[in-house]
């Protein structure tokens, strides 16, 4: 594929890493950032010092502060804003002519769920109500074990591009044939989205377990493997309850692959959050889960699992499905149970 014009909406670590990977592969990329210092640093020093420190960025990667500029007249547009802000961010670009007519192919990196008046919804379900009708069943969801630091550094990473429109999945697969990325197509947009959202919840509990294991002899590698397996079962249960279509999604890089790296890697923000709950008593600053979500910016990084666990709790209650680990994190963040007491209860 010849060099394409690409807009990336959201200059956090993952959005910046994807922009870097694509620009290094020969594409012209404009990256929208909300923060003026991020735009300045990327354009003058070729580094995102706020969100992706010490990673040199390609000179052909250009940052902009005007979201319409980043989204207009692009062959491809990639959405990477956090789930909490995604819908309102996308609402700012729906009147752009190349979006109105559907000529720009849109992919989504954001992981999580989005609240609506009728309950939490999957990312693509919400975006299809915000974007013009041309994008119904045409969006592409991109996920997999992909820590931003490694993607930006060019370390080989596998991703899944899932869409109900197989042609669009293939278009993104071809677009991302750049050094360091290996992309596979999928039709299971529900399963891939659930894996991306729910694995962050499991990773927070894993972080709690990891930190407690350093302080006592109660838990070890065997216990962590037990938790990972149980977590994967919960992700699959939730996925099928919501309409996942392929069992192999959960044993692919979108499922077990992303779960494993999110739980075990030192780059993982959700694992870090779990460790901080134990080691830094970070929850002492918040009254309950809602207070934590409302003031989540005070944490200093964004643990998506804290937000996702609230929405997964709502879904599991509505569908009457049992998800002990996800429910357990909800109880921990809501200050209904201590992490150690929950883990003992869960693993007995």
The residues that are catalytic are 199
Tracing tokens 């989005």 back to the chain, one arrives at 114
Q: Rounded to an integer, what is the distance from CA 53 to the centroid of its chain?
A: 19
Q: Which of 197, 189, 205, 192 is nearest to 113 (CA)?
A: 197
Return the closest-CA partner of residue 277 out of 231, 332, 325, 200: 332
**Tokens 């599991």 correspond to what residue?**
316
Tokens 């974007």, residue located: 131
Instruction: Label the pairing between strands 121-122 and 113-114.
Output: antiparallel
Neighbours of 222 (CB within 10 A): 8
- Residue 229 structure tokens: 């397996």
Which residues, listed in sequence order, are joined to residue 186 by a DSSP beta bridge?
162
Residue with tokens 């354009």: 43
Q: 142: helix, coil or strand? A: strand
CA gyration radius, the chain: 19
Decide if 110 contacts 75 (C-beta within 8 A). Answer: no
Query: How far apart (Å, rounded) are the C-alpha atoms in residues 260 and 253?
Result: 9
């Amino acid at each position: 594929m010849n060099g394409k014009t690409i807009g990336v909406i959201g200059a956090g670590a993952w959005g910046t890493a994807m922009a870097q990977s694509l620009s290094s592969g020969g594409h012209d990329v404009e990256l929208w950032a909300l923060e003026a210092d991020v735009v300045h640093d990327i354009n003058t020093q070729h580094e995102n010092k706020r969100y992706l420190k010490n990673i040199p960025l390609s000179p052909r990667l250009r940052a902009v502060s005007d979201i319409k500029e980043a989204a207009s007249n692009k062959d491809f547009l990639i959405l990477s804003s956090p789930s909490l802000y995604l819908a309102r961010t996308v609402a700012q670009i729906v009147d752009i002519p190349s979006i109105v007519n559907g000529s720009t192919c849109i992919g989504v990196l954001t992981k999580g769920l989005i609240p609506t008046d009728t309950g939490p919804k999957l990312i693509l379900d919400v975006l299809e109500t915000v974007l013009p009708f041309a994008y119904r069943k045409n969006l592409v969801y991109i996920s997999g074990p992909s820590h931003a630091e490694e993607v930006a550094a060019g370390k080989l990473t596998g991703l899944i591009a899932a869409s109900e429109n197989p042609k669009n999945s293939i278009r993104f697969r071809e677009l991302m044939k750049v050094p360091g990325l290996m992309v596979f197509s999928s039709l299971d947009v529900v399963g891939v989205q659930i894996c991306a959202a729910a694995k962050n919840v499991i990773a927070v509990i894993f972080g709690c377990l990891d930190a407690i294991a350093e302080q006592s002899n109660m838990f070890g590698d065997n216990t962590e493997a037990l938790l990972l397996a149980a977590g994967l079962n919960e992700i699959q249960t939730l996925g099928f309850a919501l309409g996942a279509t392929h069992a192999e999604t959960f044993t692919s890089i979108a499922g077990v692959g992303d779960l494993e790296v999110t739980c075990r890697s030192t780059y993982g923000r959700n694992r870090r959050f779990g460790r901080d709950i134990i080691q830094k008593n970070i929850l002492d600053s918040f009254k309950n889960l809602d207070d934590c979500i409302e003031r989540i910016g005070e944490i200093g990084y964004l643990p998506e699992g804290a937000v996702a666990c609230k929405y997964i709790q709502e879904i599991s209650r509505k569908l009457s499905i049992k998800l002990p680990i996800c429910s357990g994190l909800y109880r921990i963040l809501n200050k209904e149970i201590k992490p150690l007491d929950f883990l003992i209860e869960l693993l007995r």
